[in-house]
A and B are shown apart, each in its own frame.
Chain A
Amino acid sequence: MMSHTETLENVPNSDVGRVKQDFLDAGATSVSVTDNGDGTSKVVATFPD
């Protein structure tokens, strides 16, 4: 099955939980979070096409 991703850079760690939930509520099948080590993270959501 085809899929596409949406990536948000430099998300403050305090917002990561809310952003992650937004993506899941928008239909993302998975959301991965990578800590940048500077108080921000990269959030990648995968959506089915």
Chain B
Amino acid sequence: MTHLRALAALASVLGLATCTDYATFVTATNIGISADVKTQDLSIGYGRTELFTGPGYPEQGEAPRAVGYINSDLHVFQPHIRQLYATGDAAELVTTPRLPNPPNSDPMPEPPYYGQRRALVFATGAIVGLKLGFGAGTAPVPSSIKFGYNREEASVIPLRSDVPTEQHRDRYAPVLASIDMNLGGATQASANLGITQFFATGSAARNLAARDEFRQYFQFQAKEAIKSASLTGNFFYADAGKKLEEFWKPNGTVSQANDQRIKACMSKYNLTGSVAFLINGRPEPEKNLVISCLQL
């Protein structure tokens, strides 16, 4: 909420929330990466604010075009950042799915910015903090993780002051905001936090939403989420697996009390899947985590 208040304060400081003869588009990004090779600690901080204030055209369901985009792998030692900021025709051109080839010199169609003007505000704020420790153990995984995520999205879309009728219906101006994050890497040197953010208003938002690759991106995410619900692993059954199995089925049948205790420990360490998969598929260090949790 602090961030949202900051956004609101920014809008009011600019004095533009009620101003309809200016369009103001602001993006601000802060990135901080710190890695200590001695302690094997890694900290990544990311903050981004996006704000658009200006006139909306409720009779047309339109808003001035603006688009902001940032993509970064936030890689520890070789960070790459791609950023885009565009308004007006530039925002239209950069988001249009297909441009004529060869390009023609026809002027772009005039956007329907006429009629009543009312204040429109669209803002997002995101803060991500990540701290990884790689100092203990030999397994290629972080030994400690602290993660914080804060995101706010807000829009005030104006409508006509007149009562809508069947002939004159209300029309909303389009806005679009998205964020995607992906934490990767198993060592301090390879760790990264991929972030992709989109922010768009008016026809730029409409263009982005209509692009196949943009919509397929979210469909891909959904498919990946479904895929991740299924577990696959190589058979691995040794001392730790035998110990867990004896605890799980002390007399050859499942002890419900012990089953619940194992599941609680699996949940504590984010080990998904069944107890059978833990016993027969997970590597020894993960089984040992559960054994230690159970104090066996």
Is A23 in contact with B276, judged by CB distance below 8 angstroms?
yes
- CA of A16 to CA of B154, assembled, Å: 55
- CA of A11 to CA of B235, assembled, Å: 5
What are the interface flags for A33-44 relative to B under an 8 Å C-beta threshold, 1 for contact and 0 otherwise?
000000010000
- CA of A10 to CA of B281, assembled, Å: 10
Which of A5, A19, A47, A49 contacts B280 (CB under 8 A)? A19
For the complex formed, measure the closest distance between the CB of B237 and the CB atoms of chain A, giving whole angstroms: 6
Which of B235, B253, B277 contacts A12 (CB under 8 A)? B235
User: What are the residues of chain B within 8 A of A45 when measuring CB–CB?
Assistant: 274, 276-277
- Which of B46-54, B135-143, B168-176, B224-232 interfaces with chain A? B224-232
Say yes or no for B78: interface residue by CB 8 A criterion. Answer: no
Is A7 in contact with B233, judged by CB distance below 8 angstroms?
yes
Is B279 in contact with A22, judged by CB distance below 8 angstroms?
yes
Is B234 in contact with A9, judged by CB distance below 8 angstroms?
yes
For the complex formed, measure the closest distance between the CB of A49 and the CB atoms of chain B, giving whole angstroms: 8
For the complex formed, measure the closest distance between the CB of B279 and the CB atoms of chain A, giving whole angstroms: 6
Answer whether A28 and B233 are a contact pair too, CB < 8 Å, given A6-B281, A8-B280, A8-B281: no
Task: Give chain A's interface residues, CB within 8 Å of chain B.
Answer: 4-12, 15, 19, 22-23, 25-28, 40, 45, 47, 49
Show 25 A/B contacts (Cβ-Cβ < 8 Å), sorted by A. Answer: A4-B229, A4-B231, A5-B230, A5-B231, A6-B230, A6-B232, A6-B273, A6-B274, A6-B277, A6-B281, A8-B233, A8-B234, A8-B235, A8-B280, A8-B281, A10-B234, A19-B276, A22-B275, A22-B279, A25-B276, A26-B275, A28-B274, A45-B276, A45-B277, A49-B229
